[in-house]
Amino acid sequence: QAVALGNLSLAYQALGQWTQASAAIDQSLETLGVNQQQLDEDIVPSLSDPYLQVLVAVLDIDGQLWLRQARPEIALRRWRQSEKIYQNLQNSEGIIGSQTNQLQALQRLGLYLQADTISSSLEKQLSQVEDPLLSTQALRSLGDTYRAVGRLTQSRDILENLLADGASISQNSPTYISLGNTYLALAKRETERQVTTNQQDRLPWQCSAPFALPETAREYYKKASDTYGTAIQQTPNSQHQIAARLNQITALLESGKSDAAVQTLWLESYQLISQQQLRNRLGVYAQIKLAKQGACLKQLADDESFDWDPITKTLKQASALASELNDSVAISQSLGNLGGLYEYFSWLDTRLTKAANPWQQAALTLTVQALMAAQPSEQPDIAYQWQWQLARLKKADGQTQ
């Protein structure tokens, strides 16, 4: 019964029915005499081995549910608990699977050095893995981790070899996205080696055409765009589709392209995100990223028909979704970015006229709200950007102290 309920949760997750997925996993745990509160307090009841073998599988599914709902901190806790159980059961493939899952959660949390520590251990164990699906997932996670800690050549080699080995198409599409991300990181590194301007003088929502790119960077941007294009063609998964499209737009914009084809890709992505209505933190972040790309495209494109309205509308929708989710992190990011867009509008108006403009006060209000939502003592990695933004706004208003 517990196994069936766990698999039922997986089916609901695949359908995006989060309430039903949570209910099924809770029932599964209760059947085994465990509840979420015990797990949150890191209390795992003493069970016989047959029950532990079922519990550990349910914990893996529960972790997937939390990760898909953009709560990687809880997912990480579940997978650490499952790793301990697999160790007690002396199940080496289970340990590798749990560590692979932990890599995903650590990367989402930005804990790259911890992820790198697990990667070194994991890479040594992969030769023992017979399950091709597990091996593919582990290698992809390794590639992602190496990219995150700056080992770009190792990341590229692992991901290129993984695709050359010919995994199934369903496994290939996320690998193409990962490889595209590594090509994009390589392109950025080659570009930044040539940077001579002070990037801190530019507002976060201000976008300018790139200077002459080195040839190596151009090649990597082209590879990134093409790889994302392959992922778009191959994947039936809506979240993979959105990720590949948004990343492809980034690669095109950073390589200096802002023509009608890029505008069409942006509008298609705008419609896709509106239709899919991803009701989680990832949905909020996707809308923020799309809005920022649209703002850059608006500044670079020589086309008055490309309007600010869908850009501001996307950010407001992100803010509304974050409030609906009651997610303080997403609320802070959406409000702060809307404040950043208004800061840019204020800067534009100030260049045209010295008179007071409505954008300045609106940007100040939103930035303060974003800072309060982040709670600097609890979320310093988010709060710093709103402290910086607030300082810029105060300075622009003459309040240098």
Banded model confidence at residue 170, pLDDT cuts 50, 70, 90: low
CA-to-CA distance for 46 and 294, rounded, in angstroms? Answer: 54
Pairwise pLDDT comparison (170 vs 208), residue with the higher score: 208
Q: What is the pLDDT of residue 312?
A: 95
* pLDDT tens per residue across span 272-311: 998 887 888 889 999 999 999 999 999 998 777 788 999 9
Record the pTM.
Answer: 0.82
Neighbours of 271 (CB within 10 A): 11
Mean pLDDT of the chain: 90
Which residue's entry shows tokens 């702060």? 336
- The most confident of the ranges 166-175, 311-320, 354-363 is 311-320
DSSP H helical segments within 165-280, as ranges?
Answer: 169-192, 215-234, 238-254, 260-276
Phi, psi for 28 (deg, rounded to 5): -60, -45
Q: What is the pLDDT of residue 352?
A: 73
CA-to-CA distance for 337 and 118, rounded, in angstroms? Answer: 33
Q: What is the pLDDT of residue 196?
A: 65
CB neighbour list of residue 60: distance below 8 Å, 6 or more residues apart: 78, 79, 82, 97, 98, 101
Secondary structure of the chain: what % helix, strand, coil (to 5)? 80, 0, 20
Q: What is the mean pLDDT of residues 338-347?
A: 96
Q: What single-letter DSSP state applies at residue 201?
A: G
CA-to-CA distance for 224 and 230, rounded, in angstroms? Answer: 10
* pLDDT tens per residue across span 199-248: 677 899 999 877 788 999 999 999 999 999 999 998 888 888 999 999 99
The structure tokens listed for 292 are: 């920022």
Banded model confidence at residue 171, pLDDT cuts 50, 70, 90: low
Which residue's entry shows tokens 């040594």? 124
Q: What is the pLDDT of residue 355?
A: 65
With beta carbons less than 8 A apart as the criterion, state whether 231 and 322 touch. Answer: no
CA-to-CA distance for 79 and 101, rounded, in angstroms? Answer: 7
The structure tokens listed for 199 are: 């990037």
Q: What is the mean pLDDT of residues 95-109?
A: 90
Q: What is the mean pLDDT of residues 365-372?
A: 97
pLDDT reading at 120 higher than 90:
no
